[in-house]
Structures are given as structure tokens and as C-alpha cells.
């Protein structure tokens, strides 16, 4: 099937985690072309450049659905920052109101445009598969690792400074046998104060540090709450310098309910992909 170019897109940023968003509700781009299109348009320098591609589609379970791809063309079950950008897109195009539901592989998530349209909050899927007591050797030092699935797999390592080699260490964690076969994202977390973290994330499927990772920030906040005796809300300073806020109810043991991720989601520019975008 030949794609019908030009294809309109919007470039959005969720605290520096950036996405190309296309309204694909008419099925303009067939499923079999999605991974290739994601790899092409997410390539920085050669194309638009982004951490992921979001193709909106209709849903019979929610106001809107999507097909979400990492920059390497892999499918991810959920994306905290991407879902916030998708909600902003859907609202600005009259596809949904300020409160909406988005169907993801990780489940239907509730979104809300809030703070005078300056922020978007998403109610995260119930975190699961907490694993404590793991450890990984990084530059010959054993680091304790805690793992949780916050929609996608997330490993959390507390560090005492923020100049750790995120790409080198992150890659080792991401591909570690502990997390085979799906692998994991890797978060390096500095406790700056009670309720304030600095989080640097190596993202699976981007295979590099991103300027922010929503599901990673949620994992860092929940594990900090459990292991560093912190209460909701927890602010996360992301690699790009922007802040995410995580709100939650911590239950007994490693269970958290009503987990919300909140932060800005900005439209950076609109554009049109030409046929050459796939060459």
C-alpha cells in the first residue's frame, strides 16, 4: 500500500521526552508500515527526530486509542509522557474533552488537562511485579536495584551524584539477564530532599538517556516512598531540567493506588511528512 503523502504531524514535548504524533484514525498508515515509519521519523538529523511515534486510532473501550512506538520501532505497552502529549493533542483537535480515556496495551488510562491547560495528568496503570533485593555490578561496585512495572518495566538505582555514566550503566541494566527477555528501562535516582528527586533514565527502545521518562519517574517516586520514607506528592527533576509530579496512595507493602503523573505537555511545531520521509 502506497502511503498518501503529505501526512500532517505534530511534534510534542512531555518535559523533554519528545514525540511525533499523527492522527491515524482513518487508518491512513497501515499497521505493517508503523515500525518502519517510527524508525525513519524518529531518527535525529535525518528526519523529524523524536523518542517515539504516536499514531492515534479509534477505540471501542476508550475515547481514543493509539499505537505507540519507541524510536527503534519497538512497541511499548505504555508511555507516561507520551500519553500526556496524546491527551493534549486529542483535546486541541476536538477529539476528546479535558477529561478522557486512552486505551493502551497496559490498559485504559484516565487523562485530564489541568492547571489552566498548562499541565496534563494521567492516572497510571496499577504498578505490579515489584522486585527488591536485586543488585548489579557497575564499574566494579555492587548497586542495589529495585524493579517495578509501571506500565513498562523499570529498574531503579539510587546514586549519590548525578554525573553517573547513564548510557554505559543504563545499557548494562537494560540488557541484564535479570530482566530478560523484555529488558527494562534504567533509572538513576538522586534524593535531593524529602519529596524531591533527580532522575536520569536510560530508555529501552531509545537506547539512550532521554530528557525525561514518565513511567521511570513514577517508579523512582514509588520506590523512594517505600525505601526512603517519603509521602505523596514527590517532585522529579528530569534530565532536561523540567519537573514531573507524582501523586499516589501508598498501601501496606509494595502496593500503591491512585498513582498520578502530572506535568507539562507542549506543542512544539506542526508539519507535514513528504514521501521522502520513508526513503
- Is 270 marked within a binding site? no
Binding of ligand API by 13 (CB under 6 A): no
State the sign of the Cα–Cα–Cα–Cα dihedral 263, 105, 94, 23: positive
Q: In angstroms, what is the minimal distance from the CB of 82 to ligand API?
A: 6
Quote the CA–CA distance of 157 and 146 in Å, as a whole number. Answer: 7
Among 205, 254, 263, 264, the residue binding ligand API under the rule CB under 6 A is 205
CA distances from 213 to 37, 185, 244, 259 (A): 22, 9, 9, 15
CA distances 39 to 68, 69, 72, 177, 181, Å, are: 12, 9, 5, 26, 22
Return the range that interacts with ligand API (CB under 6 A); candidates 54-62, 100-108, 130-138, 200-208: 200-208
Closest separation between CB of residue 265 and ligand API, Å?
11
Alpha-carbon distances, residue 188 vs 93, 130, 159 (angstroms): 36, 17, 6
Residue 224 lies near ligand API (rule: CB under 6 A): no
Interhelix angle 80-92/214-227, nearest 10 degrees = 130
85 makes contact with ligand API (CB under 6 A): no
User: Judged by CB, which is closer to ligand API: 136, or 213?
Assistant: 213
Q: Which residues are the active-site residues?
A: 79, 213
CB of 209 closer than 8 Å to CB of 200 = yes
Instruction: For residue 227, report the phi and psi dihedrals to the nearest 5 degrees.
Output: -100, -20
Whose Cβ is closer to ligand API: residue 3's or residue 72's? Answer: 72
Minimum gap (Å) between residue 252 Cβ and ligand API: 26
Annotated binding residues for substrate, as ranges?
Answer: 17, 70, 80-81, 185, 203-204, 214-215
> Contact residues for ligand API (CB under 6 A)?
17, 51, 70, 76, 79-82, 152, 185, 203-206, 213-215
Amino acid at each position: 500500500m502506497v502511503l498518501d503523502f503529505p501526512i500532517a504531524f505534530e511534534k510534542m514535548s512531555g518535559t523533554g521526552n519528545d514525540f511525533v504524533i499523527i492522527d491515524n484514525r482513518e487508518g491512513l498508515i497501515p499497521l505493517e508500515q508503523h515500525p518502519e515509519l517510527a524508525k525513519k521519523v524518529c531518527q535525529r538529523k535525518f528526519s523529524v527526530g523524536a523518542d517515539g511515534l504516536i499514531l492515534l486510532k479509534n477505540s471501542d473501550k476508550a475515547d481514543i486509542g493509539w499505537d505507540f512506538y519507541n524510536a527503534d520501532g519497538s512497541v511499548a505497552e505504555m508511555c507516561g509522557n507520551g500519553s500526556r502529549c496524546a491527551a493534549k493533542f486529542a483535546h486541541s483537535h476536538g477529539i476528546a474533552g479535558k477529561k478522557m480515556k486512552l486505551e493502551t496495551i497496559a490498559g485504559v488510562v484516565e487523562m485530564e488537562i489541568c492547571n489552566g491547560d498548562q499541565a496534563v495528568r494521567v492516572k497510571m496503570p496499577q504498578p505490579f511485579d515489584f522486585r527488591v533485593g536485586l543488585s548489579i555490578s557497575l564499574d566494579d561496585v555492587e548497586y542495589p536495584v529495585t524493579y517495578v512495572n509501571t506500565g513498562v518495566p523499570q529498574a531503579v538505582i539510587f546514586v549519590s551524584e548525578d554525573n553517573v555514566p547513564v548510557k554505559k550503566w543504563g545499557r548494562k541494566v537494560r540488557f541484564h539477564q535479570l530482566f530478560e527477555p523484555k529488558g527494562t528501562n534504567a533509572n538513576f535516582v538522586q534524593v535531593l530532599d524529602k519529596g524531591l528527586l533527580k532522575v536520569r533514565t536510560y530508555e529501552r527502545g531509545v537506547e539512550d538517556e532521554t530528557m525525561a521518562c514518565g513511567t521511570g519517574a513514577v517508579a523512582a517516586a514509588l520506590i523512594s516512598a517505600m525505601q526512603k520514607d517519603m509521602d505523596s506528592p514527590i517532585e522529579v527533576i528530569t534530565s532536561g531540567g523540567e519537573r514531573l509530579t507524582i501523586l499516589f496512595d501508598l498501601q501496606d507493602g509494595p502496593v500503591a493506588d491512585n498513582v498520578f503523573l502530572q506535568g507539562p505537555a507542549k506543542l512544539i511545531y506542526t508539519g507535514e511528512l513528504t514521501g521522502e520521509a520513508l526513503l
